[in-house]
Structure 1
Amino acid sequence: MLTVADEGPARALEGLDALREALASGLRLWADLDTSADTHGAEEVLAGVFRFHPLTIEDALTPEPNPPKLDEHDEYIFIVFHALAGYEPFGDVATQEVCLYLGPHYVVSCHHGPLESLEAIRQRCLEDGLPLRRGAEWLLHAILDRLVDEYLPCIDAMEESLDRLEAEALEGRAAGLLERVLRLRGNALRLRRLTVPQRELLARLSRPDFPHLVRPEAHIYFRDIYDHLVRTEYLIEALRDLTDSALNTYLTVVSNRLNEVMKVLTAVATIFLPLTLISGIYGMNFAQRVWPPFESGWGFPAVVGVMAALGLAMVVFFRRRRWL
């Protein structure tokens, strides 16, 4: 928990009494709560000190994810935002929900587990007081800006993974490729479902919808985050199109390989068809032996030679026609 006066770096607060005193005095305040470490203590802060609405407290404390949203209350607004917690190549995108309360002179953040992005902002506040010293809305801007910027490295990593998959598909290495392409496509769709509502809530913050909480000079900065998220959304759309292209490439390569196999099998069957006909006719039992080679010693080698010559001639013919 942090508080800061008009000047100087922030200082850490310990205990609920110090928090109540800072809140009552009107000092700029940031309460950062990790609900995975102490759910009861977080609930005491949200309900006992700040007296937030029970429904928002339920959303902030439950480990189940909530959709991104912005709810307006009398003296504060409640925001649910999703941060990226990590991404492994060809793995699932890990997201982490961050619940934010913006009041006249305070920001309360709740998350289930540590977040490096918030810790970096906290260290900056301890060093020089910024951005909390400028006002609560500026701290909210710093948090949202940091969370949005973390989407870009993830998208870049997914694009690199997709490039490797396309190279493998063109080289004919299709083992496990379909599963990885579909996983990337699923991650792109998941990011898309998150960015659309988050873009809408940033659009509201960039408009004069909350004059008692967000000063006019801060609107343009929230608009800047909105523009970043719009760009991120375009990149996600492009990534989804690229995954569809990679999937089509994979299916085309598999189809071509199947066609090559079928072409070879068809050629082999065609070569053996006349050979089977000759051997079938020659091997029939006739009551009257009208074929002279039946009684000759060179009959069997002659027929086998004819069959071999015919098969070789058909192979040469197929080669010249580029069927083999």
Structure 2
Amino acid sequence: MSLKTGLQPGTIIYTGVKNKYESVEIEEFIYNKESIYNNVNIYKENINLRLNFEMNNWINIIGIHDIELIKKIGEKFSIDNLILEDVVNNGQRPKIEIRDNLIFIVLKLITSDENNEFKYEQISLILLDNVLIIFQESKTPIFNTIKNRILKDIGRLRKRGIGYLAYGILDRIIDEYFVILEELNNRCDKLEELVLLSSDKREFEEILALKKDILKLKKVIIPLKEFMVILKSNEIKEYLTEDVDIYLEDLNDHINVAFENIESLFLKGNELIQLYHTTISTGMNEIMKVLTMISTVFIPLSFLVGLYGMNFEVIPELKWEYGYFILLGLMFTIICGIGYFFKKKKWW
């Protein structure tokens, strides 16, 4: 049963694994094209933020299980409880909400470990005037490249506003989808080769596991079509500014490609199941074919054996001196004749 069942709307309760992280880390970037301030601290009781609303402020919070911290962030930036409730509910569907004073975005970050198992983590973004707050469930190196570009003043990040940073974060998350899509596609191709070589229960279990992974990823990617429609609307241009329109178009292209790839993978998964069943059926047909051929060969032989095994006192052939050898020759001739017939019909 869900932890939120029966609770009133706006109840802030973490739905993930509690006490998973020893501490909550708050990293702060305050920057513009001239200067940069970066600080990392472990949250205990007080939020020590060095905000400067004349510059860009990126607050990265790692660990969302601490409800008291989430409430304090809400009070400090006037974020209502309905949004905070979604921040700590790690089962949220990817979405974007526009409020009077902020934009709230939820996406799923998907990464692959050394065992090729996928980890789904919720990333929440709250975009206010010159402030971007990001909530992560755990510490991940995925944003390290963006942090390095800010610290070392590489590229456009330091020269542009907070909307461009939000775009960079979204683009980095969606880029990771293509890594997962490629891994799933490689698994599809490998399984197809294995099924064609030999179809057993293990391959079928791997196909079902692959199908499950594809469906889970599809649930993440499908909502992004609606997500981009809202993200490109005029209502949020005051937050993102019009100079990021071209980058949002690029982001939209990436989402469309990801959408097409997941649809293609979904079809390949279905075709893989059909291929498995077809291969199994073909193997069974081959077995039945061999058994039928064996039965066909032995039917006339069984007839002859049964004929001369009858308990009649008068069977003329039983008195022949060479009757036994003649019967063996007849049986051999029948076998050769049936074999020739099968070969001519290309059944064998």
TM class by shorter-chain length? 0.7 to 0.9
Q: Are 2:51 and 1:22 equivalent residues in the alignment?
A: yes
Q: Take 1:26 and 1:229, find their aligned partners in 2: how far apart are those partners?
A: 33
Q: Distance in 2 between matches of 1:17 and 1:258?
A: 68
Q: Is the 8 A contact 2:30 2:51 kept in 1?
A: no
8 Å contact from structure 1 (residues 138, 218) kept in 2: yes
More off after superposition, 117-126 vs 264-273: 117-126
Contact 1:86 1:95 in 2 (8 A): no
Q: CA contact under 8 A between 2:111 and 2:180: conserved in structure 1?
A: no
Contact 2:70 2:84 in 1 (8 A): yes
Alpha-carbon distance between aligned partners in 2 of 1:17 and 1:158, rounded to the nearest angstrom: 42
Which deviations, in whole Å up to 9, do the C-alpha atoms of 1:123-144 show, x marking residues without a partner?
Answer: 3323328626622211111100
8 A contact 1:5–1:28 mirrored in 2: yes
Counterpart for residue 104 of structure 1: 129
Quick check: 1:29–1:136 contact (8 Å CA) kept in 2? yes
8 Å contact 1:2–1:13 — kept in the other structure? yes
Gapped regions of structure 2 (runs ≥ 5): 1-26
Tell me whether 1:120 sits opposite 2:148 in the alignment: no
TM-score normalised per structure 2: 0.81
CA contact (8 A) 1:92 1:183 kept: no
Please state which structure has a larger fraction of its residues in helix. Answer: 1
Q: What residue is the counterpart of 2:294 in the other structure?
A: 268
Q: For 1:323, what is the secondary structure of its paired residue?
A: coil
Distance 2:68 2:29 in 1: 18
AA in 1 matched with 2:294: V
For residues 36 and 178 of structure 2, what CA distance do their matches in structure 1 show? 31
**For the Cα contact (< 8 Å) 2:199–2:279, is it kept in 1?**
no
1:52 and 2:79 aligned: yes
Q: Secondary structure at the match of 1:97?
A: strand
- Could you say what the CA RMSD is over the residues aligned between the two structures, in angstroms? 2.6
Bigger drift between 213-222 and 119-128 goes to 119-128
Q: Alpha-carbon deviations, 1:82-121, whole Å to 9, x = none?
A: 11121678x6543211111011111111121122212332
How many Å separate the matches in 2 of 1:158 and 1:250?
18
- The answer as to 2:182 corresponding to 1:156 is yes
Which residue of 305, 310, 316 corresponds with 2:334? Answer: 310
CA distance, structure 2, for counterparts of residue 187 and residue 136 of structure 1: 34
Read off the aligned partner of 2:62 and give its amino acid letter.
D
The residue number in structure 2 matching 1:320 is 344
Instruction: Give the match for residue 224 of structure 2.
Output: 198
Check 1:277–1:174 CA distance in 2 against 1; reply closer, same or farther (3 A cut).
same
Give 1:190 shift: 2.4
Runs of 4+ in structure 1 deviating by more than 6 angstroms, as ranges, are: none
1:168-195, Cα deviation, whole Å (9 max, x unpaired)? 2333455522222333233223222211
CA distance in structure 2 between the aligned counterparts of 1:132 and 1:107, rounded to whole angstroms? 14
Contact residue 35 and residue 42 of structure 1 kept, 8 A: no
Q: Do the aligned residues in 1 keep the contact of 2:63 with 2:137 (CA within 8 Å)?
A: yes
Cα distance change of structure 1 residues 32 and 66 upon mapping to structure 2, 3 Å threshold: same
Counterpart residue number, 2:3: none
Shift of residue 248 of structure 1?
Answer: 3.1
Structure 1 residue 297, shift from structure 2 partner: 5.6
2:107 paired residue number: 81
- Out of 26, 35, 59, the position equivalent to 1:8 is 35
Deviation at 1:40, TM superposition (A): 4.2
Q: Which runs of 5+ in 1 are unaligned?
A: none
Q: What is the CA-CA distance between 1:41 and the residue it aligns to?
A: 5.7
TM-score, length-scaled by structure 1: 0.87
Equivalent residues of 2:96, 2:231 under 8 A apart: no
Native 8 Å contact 2:199 2:276 kept in 1: no
Q: Which residue of structure 1 aligns with residue 92 of structure 2?
A: 66
Distance in 1 (alpha carbons) for counterparts of 2:340 and 2:48: 93
Q: Write the distance in 1 (CA, Å) between the matches of 2:114 and 2:304.
A: 62
Contact 2:184/2:210, CA 8 A, preserved across alignment = yes
The one-letter code of the counterpart of 2:39 is: A
Which residue, 60, 75, 78 being the options, matches 1:32? 60
State the alpha-carbon separation in 2 of the partners of residues 13 and 307 from structure 1.
Answer: 92
Q: Is 149-158 or 176-185 further displaced after alignment? A: 176-185
Equivalent pairs: percent with the same residue?
A: 25
Q: CA 1:56/1:17 → structure 2, altered by over 3 Å: closer, same or farther?
A: closer
Change (3 A) 1:137 1:34: same
Offset from partner CA, 1:65-86 (integer Å, 9 cap, x none): 2111112222111111011121
| Alpha-carbon distance in 1 for matches of 2:88, 2:217 | 23
1:5 and 1:291 map into 2 onto residues whose CA distance is 112
Name the residue aligned to 1:228. Answer: 254
Q: Which residue of 1 aligns with 2:18?
A: none
